[in-house]
Structure 1
Amino acid sequence: MKIGIFFGGQSREREISFAGGRTVYDNLNKGLFEPVPIFVDSLGNFIHLNWEYIYKGTIRDFYPPMSKIPATLHEFQLYIESLGALSTEEQEAIIAEVGTKVQPESFASLMDFAFLTLHGPYGEDGSLQGILEWYGIPYAGAGILSASIGIDKSVQKQLFENFGIPTPKSTVLTADAWQQSDKAALFADTKKSLDFPFVVKAPHQGSSLGVAVVQEDTVEAFVDAVENAFFIEKVTRTQWEQYTAEDKKKFVTGLIDIRQGIGLPLILNNIPSPVHNPKQLVSKLDEFFAVSDAEVAELKAVDSEEMVLIEQFVEGREFSCIVVQDEQGKPLSLPPTEIVKGKDLFDYRSKYLPGMSRKLTPINIETEKIRQIQKACADLYAKLQFNVYARIDGFIIASGEIFLNDPNTTSGMLPSSFFFHQAAEIGLTPSQFLTYIIRTSLAERAKSGKKSYAIKELMHQLDEQIASQQQQESDKTRVAVIMGGYSSERHISVESGRNIFEKLSSSEKYEPIPVFLTGSGEHHELYQLPINIMLKDNADDIKTKIREALEQPKHEVIAETIENASAITNKYAGEVSFVPVPLTYEQLAEKVDAVFIALHGRPGEDGAVQQNLDKLRLPYNGSGVQSSQTTIDKYMTKEILKEHGFIVADHRMVYKNEWQEKGDALLDEIESKFEYPLIAKPSDDGCSSAVMKIKSRQQLADFTRTMFRETELPTEEQRNALGLQKNEEFPQKTYYLIEELIDRKGADHFLEITGGMLTKWENGEKTYEVFEPSEALATNEILSLEEKFLAGEGQNITPSRFAPNKERQAEISAIVREDLKRAAKALNVEGYCRIDAFVRIWEDKVETIVIEVNSLPGMTPATCIFHQAAINHYKPYDFIDKILDYGMRKAQYLSV
């Protein structure tokens, strides 16, 4: 069955939709389905996307293509609407660079079924569902009526009241009423009617966009929250005139980001002509303050809300519950998940960045109350006429009263989202759950009386194929995917491991077995994971759930839900285990044919796991023990590269014992060799963990004290001194690395890159295939965790922009890739790796300055090594397959 996956879209949630579409594309069972990627751009065009672009980190990395963006705007990340009013011909020329434009009347020639991962207006509101029904394409999820209810928070509120369903008190404020109101009086009236504090929401947005909790009892805080929900931003004359050119660029960059700012195009002070691009916005603001006497400029998104919802703040435990249809079409609530946040608002960052919040399933309250939540969610699902599945959020307060809120007919579909997280509690992998959603959606669409016979034929064929797959004995290659660890990179390792597991589990060649590693450097603890534990939110939750599963009986609600969903689980998954299995390395060798090490930092990249696998002659991915021990050590890596003639940054190690002995005298020694700013970072951690640009002696002292602290966690004073966020990890070490700041040094062009590669066996020899490097652009001084791993964050341009001229571009790329290959050879890297470097370019020479080498690079869904592999025609699965193939061939070669 051909499955058209609709992703992207016109809403502010388009990046999460893009990432969710990629998840569906990768996880569809390839024995049952053929995925067809349909990217919806922000102008509403449907594009049959070339598969290479599915694996870009963000939409802005490929669309519009860099070739279509004026050179003056290359420093900004832009969506296509920033190019201004485009003719049909201009749009089609842009589309042709990434795929093929598709008209709705042609959908039937491309697909048998549409899987919708679009969020917000135009995708989650019934609009697209109506188009698909018109053209006779069955689709996933809610129908037109329930979708239109699910998108509108204000309509939901009215329905809740009509049905007598407890929900926080609320009021609606229109844009016109807001403009004409006395803000202080309105604030006072709102406090009287809703109590204080309260929440202000944009009623047609998801992902916590346009949402703010008003906790400060001031008119200013109230105004800020309401204008945030209306997508209005204000800038004062004083503020603007004090900005440097760089400050203006930073302000505008934040403003045009649709996840935290108001986006483009926008209206400046009600002037009818919209501002489309950031350069134009800077000019317009300069001009406005030059010719106007106004002290404030108001900026408003063209697609702003016309009303906002103001809602009573509920002090209670927050939960989210996925409701699905059972085999008889009745609503079945999965175990509700409690959201444990670091702050009052479960915001975009908390929702989508690994380790920034915790999801506890089921919610940690009395069992009977959990059952009441499940019943309330199932009842609401039925009353709102939802179908197939929905996500319903809510609160339970101290008195035990349940408040339901924000039902969604399209859940986020990132790998660790509630959608997959709760399905795993009944034993379904993401691949199996997607099959269930498609089959259930077909049954629901057949009820409409539109093309029912054809839809039932599809259902019948799918049922036969599902049954056939269940009966087949597996002769697949068994691969243990080891994830987790005990370093500050453990959460990202889990994301990498899950991604590898999901890529392999949807294939017809491999049977992946998820394995979690924890413990210490002295003793590794291994556990084979059931799917429900593998899909917990982060490594710490997985560790906790392993212990609970081994020591305690299964929670009553989980057991009941498994029983209630047994018909679903038996059909789509067969026999399922929910208990983790402790393993030794010897027991692991009896279970599997090969290992994929998805660990980052220690252990994994330091050769410790490899030593154990070598003893058992168990093939694995990546470099061997000696090379891993070298590349984990950034100091040693630089020393070896320097011996081989590479340019490296000046560097030195800093040790805890010398800090204890010398104190401030140690800072004097560092200052005698290095100028500020300098770079300080752990010498054996990655993922941007604790990498800082140090600008002063005080900052260097604060960094050193925090790194060499005696307590496991930094103190509040240490966090404040270094500007660490509440949940941000900062490792505790006995040594760290100082490096000179690598700068332009007079080069004509200077950029930061990251380059991946693959090694192969050809005619009995190891060869290196070096990919086109990506150009990494940091919003601030150092590439952040978000920019590397959070969906929609960061900018990785692949290939790097070495030169505007094609011939010169190819020439420089060849030089840089040869340098990266020489570095890999000097360090004896095998399998694959990622090398980070800076490049200085003059008219007559090119310098590559290697920063570090990652022997087990991050393999999360959006990581740029997949973008690079795609240029060489490797889909992520193909790339992973090649990595495993090399490891198994190497093991055979060594055993001869």
Structure 2
Amino acid sequence: MRIGIFFGGQSREREISFAGGRTVYDNLNKSLFEAVPVFVDSLGNFILLNWEYIYKGTIRDFYPPVSALPASSYNFQIYIESLGDLSISEQDAIINKVGKRIRPEEFRQYFDFAFLTLHGPFGEDGNIQGLLEWYNIPYSGSGILSSAIGINKKVQKDLMRNAGFASPRTTTFTRTEWLNTEYKGDLLEKLIHQIGLPFVIKAPNQGSSIGVSVLNEKDNARFVAGVNRSLFIQEVYTATWKTYSEEQKIRFITSLADIREGIGLPVYANGTLLHHPEALLNYLNNSREEQVTLMNVNGEESILIESFIPGKEFSCIVVQDEQGKPIALPPTEIVKVTELFDYRSKYLPGMSRKVTPIHVPEAHIEKIRSECSRLFEQLQFNVYARIDGFINSVGEVFLNDPNTTSGMLPSSFFFHQAAEIGLNPSQFLTYIIRTSLYERIKSGKNNLYLQNQLNTLDADIIRLQSAAVDKIKVAVIMGGFSSERHISVESGRNIYEKLSSSVKYQPVPVFLTGSEGNHELYVMPINIMLKDNADDIKEKVHAQKEKHPVIKKIVAEAGNITSKYVGSALEYPYAISYAELAELVDEVFIALHGRPGEDGAVQTELEKVGLPYNGSGVESSRITINKYETNRILRNHGISVANHALVYKNDWVQNPAQAIADIEKVFRYPIIAKPADDGCSSAVKKIKNRQELEAFAQMMFRELPEFLSGPIQVLSLKRNEEFPQKDYFLIEDLITANGARHFLEVTGGLLTKLDESGNLVYEVFEPSETLAVGEVLSLEEKFLAGEGQNITPARFSRDPQANKTISAQVRAVLEKTAKILQIEGYARIDAFVRVYENNQAETIIIEVNSLPGMTPATCIFHQTAINGYKPYHFIDAILDFGMKRKAISH
């Protein structure tokens, strides 16, 4: 069956939709389905997308393509709506660079079923559902009516109140009322009297916590800011604007143009329509008005105010069984670091905790499940829904956000809770498609055709269950105990999911914890692998002896679902030694980052038991984990690296003043400080003065894991930021343009193969250009879907031939670096590039990652796509090399 995956879209949630569509594309069972990517751009065009663009980190990385962007002094990344009013022929010229426009009447030529991962307006509101029904295309999830209800928070509140659901106090007011209210304090007084404090300010038609804020106290300035945020209005005072440096202005415009946390573009600036960030920058620079009011052209027309509900926050997926009866899966408690479960908390690993089931008495869990199932039926939802809410200390359940489309990132509630009844992502997607077909038959439209589709799919599912397939067993080791453990879990899950939907491999998820002297390995069931982060997984593999009684009950209730889609599945985690692992699997994929994993320790143990593995060997790994030693070796071989030195804890503790004096003799501020054996941007800081250097050292050399309050302020550390404790750290010169005509940061991936004679051959991919929003590239920018700006291939020059010439020079240095360090398998090398006159390039190596991040959003997949590798094929090549290397060594 050909499955058209609709992703992207016109809403502010388009990046999460794009990432979710990629998850579906990768996880559809390849024995049952053919995935057809249908990218919906922000103008509403349907594009049959060339597959390589699916693996870009963000939509703006490829659409509109670089060749369609206007000349800009600041290289702002934009969505297509920032190009202004384009004619159909101009749109087609852009579309043809990434795929092919398809019209709704042509859908049946390309796919049999539409899997919807679109969010928000135009995706969850019945619009796309109605279009698909008009053209007789079955689709996933709820129908037209329930989708329209599911998007409108105001209508939901009225229906829920009438049906007897507990509800917070609510009220609304319009944008016109807001703009016409001269003194906003009067409205605040009215709302406090009507609703009380604290209260929540919401944009009624948005998801992913976009446009949501909480007002805890009577604060007129915060109230105005919150309402403006929900209406997507920004006020700029010209006097303040003029005090900003150019860098601050660029950051302001970049933040403002962010469709999730800023107001987005295009905007009206005091009535003048501006599409492009640079046009807005110029307008503000030249404005003579005292104040400029910026309003997004698609801002909200009203505001929803709700009384704040104290209690535990939860999210619950509700699904239908074979008879159409709703089953509420185990509700997940959201343990927030910040007051709001905001966009970053939802989608970045480690920023919040998901506890399943919610930690309340069993009777309260059943009350949540009962209310969620009742609401599912009351709002006439179909197939599945995600329902959010709160439960207070006396067991009152408040449901506040029913969603007919859930986020579909690998760690989302959607897959997280389905795993508790034994369904892995691939199986859950099969269930969604099958159940959706059954629901569409009930509509009375095109019944016979849909029934035939359903019968064929049922027969294929049964055939697949009974087929005995001999697959290569691959242990995917993830986790660890470094500051990179959460990203390692994301990488490991991604590898697992790519392999689990293949016809060649059977992945076995293995969690590593313990210490450097004692690696503890646990084979884990799917529900534990899909826990929120490494710390949650560690807790479960150590503590879980018996399933929670409520989960046991739900597993029984969902028996007719799991029996259809799941064969035998592991129920409980168990410890395993390296020797026992060799008896269980044929090969290992090490998805660890930092120590252990990239330091050769795990490789040493695997070689003892004869297991082939991915990546470099023991000696090369021991070198590349040490940034100082790597730099020293590369410099001795004529490779450009930054001037660098180590700062040791003993020297610092004995005499901090002398340690600083020694550093300042050799280095000038600003400098870069970072751990010498950690990656993923953990604790990488631009140090601009002595105070910041002292704060960095105090944090790095602290005795206890808890952060120190003083250094937190000096270094502007975020909540939940990873900052390891070390006995030494590395300082480097800040690499700058140094007179070069063009200067950029790049990251380049590579893959090794063995030729017929057994010689190592390097395939170095086109590097990506990485654009940091802040002073250094952040964790979010590297790994969070929809964050970061990576241009692949890197823009070394506007002239195509010159770009090719410079790229060849850079890739030659990357290959030489890999050969010097004896890298095998695959790797990622980060560097700065200075381009001088006559297109001469200097490549300065920053660091080498022998086990690079393999999360869905990482740019190594953008690079491999240019060379024709889909992520699965890239992973397959990595595993194949490990097998061949092992065979040759014997």
Which TM-score tier does this pair reach, normalised by the shorter chain? over 0.9
Partner of 1:62: 62
Partner of 2:102: 102
Between the two proteins, the alignment pairs up a number of residues equal to 887
1:541 paired with 2:540, answer no
1:505 paired with 2:485, answer no
- Structure 1 residue 259, shift from structure 2 partner: 1.1
1:81 paired with 2:81, answer yes
- Cα deviation 1:380-424 (Å, max 9, x = unaligned): 100110010000011011222111111000000000000000000
Aligned partners of 1:807, 1:175: CA distance in 2, in Å?
52
1:708-723 alignment runs, 5 A limit: 708-723=701-716
The residue type equivalent to 2:647 in the other structure is V
Partner of 2:658: 665
Partner of 1:810: 804
1:751-766 alignment runs, 5 A limit: 751-763=744-756, 764-766=758-760
Cα pair distance change 1:73/1:448, threshold 3 Å: farther
Partner of 1:855: 850
Partner of 2:275: 276
1:612 paired with 2:614, answer no
Aligned partners of 1:62, 1:406: CA distance in 2, in Å?
33
SS state of the match for residue 468, structure 1? helix
Partner of 1:287: 286
Aligned partners of 1:318, 1:661: CA distance in 2, in Å?
48
Whether contact under 8 Å (2:695, 2:710) holds in the other structure is: no
Unaligned residue ranges in structure 1 (runs of 5+): none
Aligned partners of 2:509, 2:273: CA distance in 1, in Å?
51
Partner of 2:218: 217
Partner of 1:298: 293
Aligned partners of 1:547, 1:623: CA distance in 2, in Å?
31
The residue type equivalent to 2:764 in the other structure is V
Partner of 1:267: 268
The residue type equivalent to 1:861 in the other structure is P
- Structure 1 residue 73, shift from structure 2 partner: 5.8
Aligned partners of 2:534, 2:72: CA distance in 1, in Å?
43
1:453-492 alignment runs, 5 A limit: 453-492=448-487
Aligned partners of 2:247, 2:577: CA distance in 1, in Å?
55
The residue type equivalent to 1:651 in the other structure is H
The residue type equivalent to 1:887 in the other structure is G
The residue type equivalent to 2:568 in the other structure is E
- Cα deviation 1:13-69 (Å, max 9, x = unaligned): 000000000000000000000000000000000000000000000000000000000
Aligned partners of 1:742, 1:657: CA distance in 2, in Å?
28
Select which of 730, 736, 751 maps to 1:743.
736
SS state of the match for residue 72, structure 1? coil
Aligned partners of 1:345, 1:106: CA distance in 2, in Å?
43
The residue type equivalent to 1:335 in the other structure is P
Aligned partners of 1:747, 1:708: CA distance in 2, in Å?
37
Partner of 1:525: 520
Partner of 1:175: 175
1:261-410 alignment runs, 5 A limit: 261-269=262-270, 271=271, 273-289=272-288, 292=289, 295-410=290-405
Aligned partners of 2:735, 2:247: CA distance in 1, in Å?
20
Partner of 1:640: 633
- Structure 1 residue 344, shift from structure 2 partner: 1.3
SS state of the match for residue 588, structure 2? strand
Aligned partners of 1:644, 1:536: CA distance in 2, in Å?
45
- Structure 1 residue 504, shift from structure 2 partner: 0.3
Cα pair distance change 1:73/1:102, threshold 3 Å: farther
Whether contact under 8 Å (2:427, 2:566) holds in the other structure is: yes
- Structure 1 residue 220, shift from structure 2 partner: 1.6
1:589-608 alignment runs, 5 A limit: 589-608=582-601
The residue type equivalent to 1:512 in the other structure is P
Unaligned residue ranges in structure 2 (runs of 5+): none
- Cα deviation 1:286-320 (Å, max 9, x = unaligned): 3332xx3xx22110000000011000001110000
In the superposition, the TM-score normalised over structure 2's length comes to 0.99
Partner of 2:445: 450
Aligned partners of 1:71, 1:393: CA distance in 2, in Å?
45
- Cα deviation 1:777-828 (Å, max 9, x = unaligned): 1011100001001111111100111111111111111111011000000000
SS state of the match for residue 310, structure 1? strand
Cα pair distance change 1:73/1:141, threshold 3 Å: farther
In the superposition, the TM-score normalised over structure 1's length comes to 0.98
Aligned partners of 1:45, 1:516: CA distance in 2, in Å?
43
- Greater CA drift, 14-23 or 716-725: 716-725
- Structure 1 residue 426, shift from structure 2 partner: 0.2
The residue type equivalent to 1:835 in the other structure is I
- Structure 1 residue 661, shift from structure 2 partner: 2.1
Aligned partners of 1:185, 1:593: CA distance in 2, in Å?
71
Partner of 1:894: 889
- Cα deviation 1:216-275 (Å, max 9, x = unaligned): 311221111111110000011221121233222211111111011111111112x1x421
Whether contact under 8 Å (2:17, 2:119) holds in the other structure is: yes
Partner of 1:770: 764
Partner of 2:624: 631
Aligned partners of 2:464, 2:514: CA distance in 1, in Å?
38
Partner of 1:824: 818
Query: How much identity, in percent, do the aligned residues show?
Result: 62
Whether contact under 8 Å (2:197, 2:217) holds in the other structure is: no
- Cα deviation 1:810-857 (Å, max 9, x = unaligned): 111111101100000000000000000011111242111101100000
Aligned partners of 1:587, 1:542: CA distance in 2, in Å?
21
- Greater CA drift, 619-628 or 233-242: 233-242
- Structure 1 residue 75, shift from structure 2 partner: 1.4
The residue type equivalent to 1:133 in the other structure is E
- Structure 1 residue 643, shift from structure 2 partner: 1.1
Partner of 2:28: 28
1:191 paired with 2:192, answer yes
Aligned partners of 1:250, 1:538: CA distance in 2, in Å?
31
- Structure 1 residue 728, shift from structure 2 partner: 1.0
Whether contact under 8 Å (2:76, 2:278) holds in the other structure is: no
Aligned partners of 1:608, 1:37: CA distance in 2, in Å?
41
Aligned partners of 2:344, 2:369: CA distance in 1, in Å?
27
- Structure 1 residue 185, shift from structure 2 partner: 1.7
1:561 paired with 2:554, answer yes
Aligned partners of 2:689, 2:643: CA distance in 1, in Å?
18
RMSD after superposition:
0.9
Aligned partners of 1:166, 1:64: CA distance in 2, in Å?
46
Aligned partners of 1:435, 1:882: CA distance in 2, in Å?
27
Partner of 1:226: 227
The residue type equivalent to 2:469 in the other structure is S
SS state of the match for residue 540, structure 1? helix
Partner of 2:121: 121
SS state of the match for residue 639, structure 2? coil
Cα pair distance change 1:74/1:284, threshold 3 Å: closer
Select which of 861, 867, 875 maps to 2:862.
867
Partner of 1:255: 256
SS state of the match for residue 274, structure 1? strand
SS state of the match for residue 815, structure 1? helix
- Cα deviation 1:713-759 (Å, max 9, x = unaligned): 22233322221112112100001101111111111111100000000
SS state of the match for residue 405, structure 1? strand
The residue type equivalent to 1:260 in the other structure is E
SS state of the match for residue 514, structure 1? strand
- Structure 1 residue 575, shift from structure 2 partner: 2.2
- Structure 1 residue 74, shift from structure 2 partner: 5.6
Aligned partners of 2:494, 2:887: CA distance in 1, in Å?
27
